């Protein structure tokens, strides 16, 4: 893709919309996006990692230049749905244990 003419906001919006970069941005634009990224985007998306990998691949620091467009799991061993199921099961087990404890004969 040709170099995109855009600001840090355009880089962030591209990543936030597609969970990857769909255009090529200059290292200056990528650095600017990393420093201007809102905390909510940094915390709840993989955009910081995606943009950082793209920047590093442009600077020749990574072995796989294609890795810039892949999505990240956020570093967790379990996926979000598995974590949710485990939490719900834990809460259910805790609630049933509490009920059993309250109903036991004295």
Local mean pLDDT, 10-residue blocks, the chain (106 residues) = 64 92 91 92 92 90 49 60 86 88 81
Q: Residues near 34 by Cβ (< 8 Å), separated by ≥ 6?
A: 48, 51, 52, 55
In degrees and rounded to multiples of 5, residue 97 shows phi and psi of: -65, -40
Answering whether pTM is above 0.75, one says no
């Amino acid at each position: 893709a040709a170099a995109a003419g855009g600001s840090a906001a355009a880089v962030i919006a591209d990543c936030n919309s597609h969970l990857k970069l769909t255009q090529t941005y200059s290292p200056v634009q990528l650095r600017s996006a990393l420093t201007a990224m809102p905390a909510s985007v940094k915390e709840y998306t993989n955009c910081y990692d995606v943009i950082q990998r793209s920047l590093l691949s442009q600077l020749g620091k990574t072995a796989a230049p294609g890795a810039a467009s892949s999505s990240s799991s956020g570093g967790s061993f379990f996926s979000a749905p598995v974590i949710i199921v485990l939490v719900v099961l834990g809460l259910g087990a805790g609630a049933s244990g509490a009920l059993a404890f309250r109903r036991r004969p004295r």
